[in-house]
Chains A and B, each alone.
Chain A
Amino acid sequence: MTEHSQFPPMTFIEIVNEDRATGSVKDDYDAISSLYSRFYGQPVPTPQVYRSTSLVPEYFHLCTEHVDAMSKGGTDPLLSGSVPGQLIAFGVSQHSSCFY
């Protein structure tokens, strides 16, 4: 598989990756990657899950707000508190049996 393939393995639908992204989709790729990079303290590309909406810019843009809200602008790794946010996210994934 290459990053530039239109249909990566397992993906059921067309994905618009960075190389084909234009306009708001390109801006949102930059924004999501930037938030995650701040989150991890190193360059991180946009996670695969958000790419699934890249065919429809309005939904892809929502993903930027989603990441921003979840991570408090990329500043909070959700690892603190009596029940860390990451544990909530993990619990939802586990009970959904989400492979990703």
Chain B
Amino acid sequence: MIYPDPETVAAVGEDPQSADIPELHKAVFRWLETFVKSSDSTSERDIEELRQLGASDEEIAEWVNIASLQIYLVSIADSSGVPLESEVAETESALAEFSSLHRDRSYYHVRQPDTPQTKTTGTANPTGGQDGAKLQSSGWLSAPCAGDDYEKAARDAEARYGVIPNLFKAISASGRFYKRHQMVLDLLEHPQTDTLSGPLHALVRAATIALDRCDYFAATADSLLARTCDSNIKYSQLVPDPLATARTEQERVVLAFAEKLIRTPYKITAKDAQDFRDAGLDDKAYVDVFNTVSLQCSLDRLANATGVAADSRPLLSAQLAS
């Protein structure tokens, strides 16, 4: 157990800022709130606050990677309505006591922000971060760009894209996540089922990037749209309101779902999956869409939270790029 007594655990679950926990933990919870709710408004100042409280860049790189992976799990859990571990008879053991808020916390999103660090979901800021700090090719964290894991990932990525992604440089202080991130980039290049069309997949991926205000992936979104869709939709058209670009019922259903998953995932119900079926899309397409949105979200927030500048080329494999 991380905290020594149940009272502290309960207090953290209620409101970490009022709990009797280290200041670093409170700062991390504030940073995570921004990471989850408006990652485009994170800034180097957030990183600096963690440093001031004793965190090393290596630790912060580790945390941002874990947060990125966890946002994926949260998203797929909300999308699919899986039962709690404690509700499943076969897992009444180690897993039953692990994780799970086990209660509705949707009120958390409608109450007034109670910390000065809480920022409103904001406007895209191409210069990076709410305080206007410049984005850097290697991001806001120190980036050693060394070690076996980094060098292998850099080599493989350069062979795929013709460039080493700045995102990989930005997180090079914590190297064990590269294989997972590369698998995600590969999965995001095209749909993984035959019931979701290439154009619809490209549209929902680009819409996710737009909704996350993640300029790091803007060129990738544009390139994917240009190569996959027969329309002339651009990333910039999706930024204000992706749903407004929907031309068919399937596009409307899929884009509405993507927006809900990004903005208010806790509101997803079985009706969202049923809406897919009613629009002629099956459960495989639903799984494909919620994974596409969730995986892109995890990378968008990783890029937004590390202040990494765009690459010189879109992150699409040579085969697709040509």
Contacts and interface: CB of A to CB of B under 8 A. Distances in A.
Contact of A89 (B70, B84, B283, B288): B70
Nearest to B196: A56
B311 interface: no
B267 to A, nearest CB: 9
B290 to A, nearest CB: 8
A11 B81 contact: yes
Contacts of B85: 47-48
Contacts of A62: 180, 183-184, 187, 295
Interface residues of A, number: 53
Interface string A1-44: 10100001111111100000000000000000000100010101
B110 to A, nearest CB: 10
Contacts of B288: 56, 59
Interface string B65-79: 011011111111111
Main secondary structure of the interface of A (DSSP, over half): loop
B37 interface: yes
Given A95-B32, A96-B71, A83 B94 contact: no
Interface of B: 2, 12-13, 16, 24-25, 28-29, 32-33, 35-37, 54-55, 59, 62-63, 66-67, 69-85, 87-91, 93-95, 99-106, 108-109, 176-177, 179-180, 183-184, 187, 192-193, 265-266, 268-270, 272-273, 283-284, 286-288, 291, 295
